[in-house]
Amino acid sequence: MIKKGFSLIELLVVVAIMGILIGLSAFGLQQARESARDGQRKSDLETIRTGLSFYRSDCNAYPINTGDFYTLFHPSFGSTTCGGANTYIQKTPKDSLSGNLYYYISTNGITYTICASLETEGSTVPSGCPAGATGCGGYCNYAVYNP
């Protein structure tokens, strides 16, 4: 008589292989999420840059401020300055991770720097960005400048 079925060793091997595959896919998925959030951050900074260009065309200078962009300019910058009732950014971008900020710096109205903390980039602080947790809520390692 022939017995059909799997032995205990065969079942354990299959379970172990499935566990390894699930672990690898979860790790890969986490990296994909980080890359997607970084892409959104870069897109947000370009949106802010575009709004600042419109602001400058109306006011002949960039807003003079330093700090968290969302706090400084929410719901839209321009409402209390020379832009009057103009809305330069319909929805003010905000980092999707709690505690991370887009940091805006313009001390002269001629130039500006906007800094962000990317998850997949290195630890080099771009020129004009604050080092450490004082500016971006994390380690500022990406920046855009006025064109």
Per residue in 12-60, pLDDT tens? 998 999 988 888 777 778 888 888 999 999 999 999 998 888 888 888 8
SS (H, E, C) 17-50: HHHHHHHHHHHHHHHHHHHHHHHHHHHHHHHHHH
- Residue 1 burial by CB count (10 A; 0-12/13-18/19+): exposed, middle or buried? exposed
Per residue in 77-121, pLDDT tens? 655 456 566 778 888 888 888 778 888 888 888 999 998 888 887
What does CATH list as the number for 9-145?
3.30.700
